[in-house]
């Protein structure tokens, strides 16, 4: 089915270096995450200037195209057109450009790949647990004995308890292990302690670190004479053990796949993988990973204990910077690990005010600015910010203005410091922005374990902190922000083909340039000749002037001037691409006459280019004229093998 984002998807595919340059593709809340074979083939500047794209970030071994709230739909469109789900594959540890990934890049890439798919459900179930904690506080402990509580608690806690199985699925996808083999390993972890409680009921051994509990383990049963060391907390809701177990199992499966005959691979490979991976996971990987989990929790608490104010300020102030580069994934698992080992998180939770100060800054700019375009950008950015999605605010407004961004980092740090001073904790994962407030309500386990008597303390306090830092941010931005003096826009040349010379009408496109019409199949670029970018024809130009092929709006005027997109009043999304690989000229020999967003009539001058100089530079000037949303129409056709003048009938649209 055609999508309204198909045109944008085609532009993205073309400018990340084409389908062949993509190793893999995923997405998170706001951005497409590509792994490219060679990032130098991507046209980053063009993508940044394309309507529908907030910005482009190259970080963590990923080429990240920030879309915003519609990233899911754009991802689907890019996948449908590029068929990346089936075609793209992870080629070992190779980073873009053919080099090896750094350890930091590998870590970020792995964590984002494992955690991104489950975040929506973690958020949803976290909200349920928080609200149930409030219900018990308001209605009394007897509410816990009702069927209503039990059923809803199963919704909220079931996903979190079986989190290892969910992580096993996404980790298997990341490490290229059979998904069900990975889930079976996780199921074994959880099944053993439920079905065979003796395995986890041995002598408890407690080790301390940083003057606090580091790990609690039980030693009782053995496997072939080797003691089975079981974490006192078990593996339910754990994070790190299953990720390492799946990674190891993927290596084992790969080894067996190479040596087992094809005729018996179907069942022997998973059998041998499980026989090796599960015992090793129980005996070595699980205990070591559990100790690592406890160590991370203990370290965070130690840092927080040294100075909650300093720790809170650093997390709050740096969070938005980490988001920009996609590096916040390094802290997200720490938060979930703290939930599973401690029952709460105070360390990463200090980032909570960051989205709200961004929102306050955008609101101040919205009310202060006289720039109509900036106002139009600020409204959706404000609404997204309230819901915790700040990329539109950061990339579209505060970061380009610089000073507002620095101010928000400072005030977010102030908010984090105050949260640290008051010991604010979150007790479950949840939504972003205003939807995260229920996560500051203690879960029933936390109430019982920590002896909490005022379940609304954190909610009330954090609400006041958020309000205070939002007011602080708003006031600072209000008194410091000034509209920059806009650069004078180039006036359109005003040249238009005489109306009597234009053959266009509803359902047609006229020739945007004079020359000889050839079929797309003769274009020396597979992206055009294969038809993946759309249907149409190509023109070998006779002169250097490009005119509008229909009435409509300039949806994209590429900064280099080598290509222009128009959304016609006839619903056709038209792409005119002047020459092959001419983007490499970086705008040299091209002179755009209109800007993105301009309303044009058929025959209005769009671009002038020096055809002779472009040819002398070694570039083919053949100009494809495409309808990129061809699937929205019954038929796109044009007569080839003839000469046309700009304004002659070129393409028929049915």
Cite the active site residues.
Answer: 28, 577
> Which three-class secondary structure state does DSSP give residue 217?
strand
Q: What is the CA radius of gyration of the chain?
A: 29
State the DSSP string of 2-45. --TTHHHHHHHHHHTT-GGGEEEEEE-SSEEEEEES-GGGS-HH
Q: Which stretches of 218-368 are DSSP H helices? A: 240-259, 265-280, 286-306, 308-324, 332-341, 354-368
Nearest CA to 576 out of 597, 605, 599 is that of 605
- The pair of three-digit structure tokens given for residue 603, joined into one six-digit string: 């025959």
Task: Give the burial class of 149: count Cβ atoms within 10 A of its Cβ; 0-12 exposed, 13-18 middle, 19 or more buried.
Answer: middle
Nearest CA to 116 out of 22, 29, 190, 200 is that of 29
The DSSP element (H or E) to which 171 belongs, if any, is helix 163-175
- SS3 per-residue string spanning 191-212: HHHHHCHHHHCCEEEEEEECCE
The rounded Cα 546 to chain-centroid distance in angstroms is 37
Cα-based angle 459, 462, 468 (whole degrees, multiple of 5):
140
In whole angstroms, give the CA distance from residue 350 to residue 612: 60
In whole angstroms, give the CA distance from residue 448 to residue 452: 7
- The pair of three-digit structure tokens given for residue 142, joined into one six-digit string: 């007897």
In whole angstroms, give the CA distance from residue 299 to residue 590: 57
What are the residues whose beta carbons fall under 8 Å from the beta carbon of 368, sequence distance 6 or more? 477, 478, 481, 483
């Amino acid at each position: 089915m055609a999508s309204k984002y198909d045109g944008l998807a085609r532009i993205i595919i073309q400018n990340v270096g084409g389908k062949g340059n993509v190793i893999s593709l995923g997405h998170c809340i706001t951005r497409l995450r590509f792994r490219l074979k060679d990032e130098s083939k991507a046209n980053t500047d063009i993508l940044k200037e394309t309507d529908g794209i907030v910005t482009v970030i190259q970080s963590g071994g990923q080429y990240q195209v920030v879309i915003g709230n519609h990233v899911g739909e754009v991802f689907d469109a890019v996948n449908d057109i590029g068929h990346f789900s089936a075609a793209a594959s992870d080629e070992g540890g190779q980073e873009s450009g053919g080099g090896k990934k750094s350890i930091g890049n590998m870590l970020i890439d792995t964590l984002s790949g494992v955690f991104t798919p489950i975040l929506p459900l973690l958020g949803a179930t976290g909200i349920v647990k928080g609200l149930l904690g409030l219900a018990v506080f308001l209605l009394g402990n007897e509410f816990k004995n009702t069927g209503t509580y039990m059923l809803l608690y199963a919704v909220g806690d079931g996903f979190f308890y079986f989190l290892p199985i969910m992580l096993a699925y996404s980790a298997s996808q990341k490490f290229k292990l059979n998904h069900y083999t990975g889930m079976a390993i996780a199921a074994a972890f959880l099944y053993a302690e439920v079905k065979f409680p003796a395995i986890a009921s041995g002598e408890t051994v407690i080790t301390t670190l940083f003057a606090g509990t580091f790990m609690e383990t039980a030693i009782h049963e053995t496997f072939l004479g080797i003691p089975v060391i079981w974490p006192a907390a078990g593996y339910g809701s754990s994070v790190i053990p299953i990720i390492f177990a799946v990674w190891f199992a993927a290596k084992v499966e790969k080894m067996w796949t190479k040596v087992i005959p094809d005729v018996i691979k179907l069942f022997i490979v998973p059998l041998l993988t499980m026989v090796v991976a599960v015992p090793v996971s129980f005996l070595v990987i699980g205990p070591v990973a559990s100790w690592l989990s406890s160590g991370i929790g203990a370290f965070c608490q130690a840092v927080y204990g040294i100075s909650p104010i300093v720790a809170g300020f650093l997390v709050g102030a740096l969070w938005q910077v980490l988001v920009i580069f996609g590096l916040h994934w390094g802290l997200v698992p720490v938060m979930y690990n703290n939930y599973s080992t401690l029952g709460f998180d105070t360390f990463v939770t200090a980032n909570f005010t960051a989205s709200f100060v961004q929102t306050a800054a955008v609101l101040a700019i919205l009310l202060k600015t006289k720039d109509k375009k900036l106002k139009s950008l600020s409204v959706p950015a404000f609404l997204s910010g309230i819901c915790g999605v700040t990329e539109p605010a950061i990339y579209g407004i505060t970061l380009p203005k610089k000073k507002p961004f620095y101010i928000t980092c400072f005030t977010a740090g102030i908010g984090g410091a105050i949260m640290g001073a008051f010991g604010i904790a979150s007790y479950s994962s949840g939504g972003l922005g205003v939807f995260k407030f229920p996560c500051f309500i203690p879960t029933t386990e936390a109430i019982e374990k920590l002896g909490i008597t005022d379940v609304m303390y954190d909610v009330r306090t954090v609400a006041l902190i958020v309000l205070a830092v939002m007011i602080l941010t708003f006031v600072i931005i209000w008194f410091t922000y000034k509209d920059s003096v806009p650069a004078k826009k180039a006036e359109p040349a005003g040249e238009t083909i005489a109306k009597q010379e234009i053959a266009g009408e509803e359902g047609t496109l006229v020739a945007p340039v004079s020359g000889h019409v050839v079929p797309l199949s003769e274009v020396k670029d597979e992206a055009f000749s294969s038809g993946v970018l759309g249907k149409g024809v190509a023109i070998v130009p006779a002169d250097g002037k490009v005119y509008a092929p229909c009435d409509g709006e300039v949806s994209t005027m590429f900064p280099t001037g080598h290509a222009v997109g128009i959304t016609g009043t006839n619903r056709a999304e038209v792409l005119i691409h002047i020459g092959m690989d001419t983007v490499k000229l970086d705008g040299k020999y091209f002179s755009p006459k209109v800007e993105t967003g301009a309303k044009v009539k058929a025959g209005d001058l769009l671009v002038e280019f020096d055809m002779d100089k472009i040819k002398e530079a070694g570039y083919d000037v053949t100009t494809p004229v495409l309808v990129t949303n061809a699937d929205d129409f019954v038929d796109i056709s044009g007569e080839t093998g003839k000469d046309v003048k700009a304004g002659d009938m070129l393409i028929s649209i049915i």
